[in-house]
Amino acid sequence: TDTENWKDFIQKPALSYVLRLLTGLSQGHPPTQLLIGAECIPILHKLEQASSDKHIGTMAENLLEALKKNPEVSAKIEDFRKQTKAEKKRLAMAKRKKQLGALGMKTNEKGQVTVESSVLKQIEDLKEETGLTCCICREGYRYQPQKVLAVYTFSKRLYLDDFENKPRKSVGYSTVSHFNIIHVDCHTAAVRHARGREEWESAALQNANTKCNGLLPLWGPHVQESAFATCLARHNTYLQECTGVRDPSYPYNVHDVKLLVLKFAQEKSFSEDSGGGGRQSNMHLLPFIMHMALYVINTTRSVTREEKNLGNFLDAIKDKWIENCYETEGPLYWTTMALHILSPAKWKERRVKLLDRCMVLAQTRHVTPGGTKTLADKAVKEYSVYKPYLVFFGIINEVYQKVFKKVSVNGDNSWSSAVADYIRHNDKALIEACDRVLAAYQDEMLPCESFSEFCDVVGLLEEIPDPDSYLTDLFASLP
């Protein structure tokens, strides 16, 4: 790329037009895709890495994305990208090894730095990172305790609830991630050195070529609150820019958690819009999106108010249950909010009431999607009608049992404060626990074929001893 021929080539005025024309011709036309793919992939891959004021790199990348719709060409493109990534990594590691060797250091199998020189070893015994680490400098909160780590996210504007019974539905956003971690400072430096690329175009390179438009900060044990709050405000600005939501306060964050869990429950794709990130990445994201809501709930002292609101929801007369199924702050929202404000003991005490409301929601929305105030059809339907809402409830229940199992509430602290503090200090344990929740979701909840089987899997038989008559009795009790 340093040769004069190459520099002359990317400056040619016709190049941008050629790339645009080929992109248009390639859309949905396999013969064109195959023809271009046969000869041009190496040069296009080289072009997508080029930086110029004419955005040649972006145009080449767009053409490659159009070509990727052809499976044969897609495999070829991915192969070139993997080769380049591996080569860059090899060269970077070789240079790093040489520089570290000059300092009497070396890297271990995990890529972490250890001291080889006995003199340096006496000066400083480097700590080994065990938790989340930056994808650029490979360091985390053990070695850089004051630097804020963040996770790349992709947020999309959408309705808070598709079933809301209003002429103009309330708008919020839904966030997904490939769960790539980076220091906020490293992100800023990478963007500064990207030479012509836009911020998120550059960030996608660090994010495994996955689209992103947010940088959710993770509050480490020794990070000052002012530094975390600054990064959180910056993330809120990103949210406003990409979703148009003017004031993304904590109810929007709770809805965001709700919509993330709902994607699992409805078995939807997490990578449809961003192009990367699956179930595991987004299960890892869950507690950290929760932390964003918890931070605001705690700092604004909103716990008591939300506990009262949840109590009012659960104590509502049955005449209001049906109507509430078509509101944004309905059963799914309050089940999610419960995870933020109820201790495990209170959750266990109230979870069947929340399950009642979720089942009424499933029945009502299935029978009358457009909205109603009375349940016209009380006959129990096939299990598939209730399954997404049961799985939603089951994931919340599993998070209590597996992710927050070791959270202890001391003295005057509320559950919200205790959970926020636990998330802040236990990143490695959180990731491992989220993997166990994912396993329970995939191996136990999704295979369930009946309500009674689900109750057995989730541990509800003590509270619902007769699952077969539960739904019949519940619907019959409604006015």
Interatomic CA distance for residues 103 and 101, integer angstroms:
5
Q: SS3 for 135?
A: coil
pLDDT at 335: 97
Q: What is the DSSP letter of 334?
A: H
Beta strands 181-183 and 149-159, pairing class: antiparallel
pLDDT at 3: 78
Query: How many other CB atoms are there within 10 angstroms of residue 163's CB atom?
Result: 19
CA neighbours closer than 13 Å in the CB half-sphere of residue 419 = 27
Interatomic CA distance for residues 201 and 211, integer angstroms:
8
* CA quadruple 442, 444, 449, 451: dihedral sign: negative
Q: Which two tokens stand for residue 15?
A: 């190049």
Q: What is the DSSP letter of 107?
A: E
Q: Which two tokens stand for residue 158?
A: 């959408």
pTM: 0.74
Interatomic CA distance for residues 72 and 79, integer angstroms:
11
Which residues have CB under 8 Å from 136's CB, separation 6+?
182, 183, 186, 190, 206
Interatomic CA distance for residues 41 and 209, integer angstroms:
17
Beta strands 149-159 and 113-115, pairing class: unpaired
Q: Say what the alpha-carbon torsion angle 299, 304, 306, 308 is, to the nearest 10 degrees.
A: -170
- The full length of the chain comes to 479
pLDDT at 13: 86
CA dist list (Å): 58 to 3, 46, 111, 330: 21, 12, 31, 43
pLDDT tens by residue, the chain, 479 residues: 667 887 888 888 898 899 889 989 988 888 988 898 888 888 888 888 777 777 888 888 888 888 888 888 888 888 888 888 888 888 888 887 888 777 767 777 776 777 665 545 555 555 566 789 999 988 888 888 899 999 999 999 999 999 998 989 999 999 999 999 999 999 998 888 876 678 898 899 888 889 999 999 999 999 999 999 999 999 999 999 999 888 778 999 999 999 999 999 999 999 998 888 899 999 999 999 999 999 999 999 999 999 999 999 999 999 899 999 999 999 999 999 999 999 999 999 999 999 999 999 999 999 999 888 888 899 999 999 999 999 999 999 999 999 999 998 876 678 999 999 999 999 999 999 999 999 999 999 999 999 999 999 999 999 999 998 999 999 999 98
pLDDT at 248: 73
Question: DSSP letter string over 172-240?
Answer: EEEEE----EEEHHHHHHHHHTSTT--HHHHHHHHTTT----EEEEE--TTS-HHHHHHHHHHHHHHHH
Q: Are 358 and 474 in contact (CB under 8 A)?
A: no
Interatomic CA distance for residues 95 and 90, integer angstroms:
9
What value, to the nearest 5°, has the Cα angle with vertex 192 and ends 189 and 196?
150
pLDDT at 126: 53
* 382 CB-contact burial (10 Å; exposed 0-12 / middle 13-18 / buried 19+): exposed
pLDDT at 479: 86
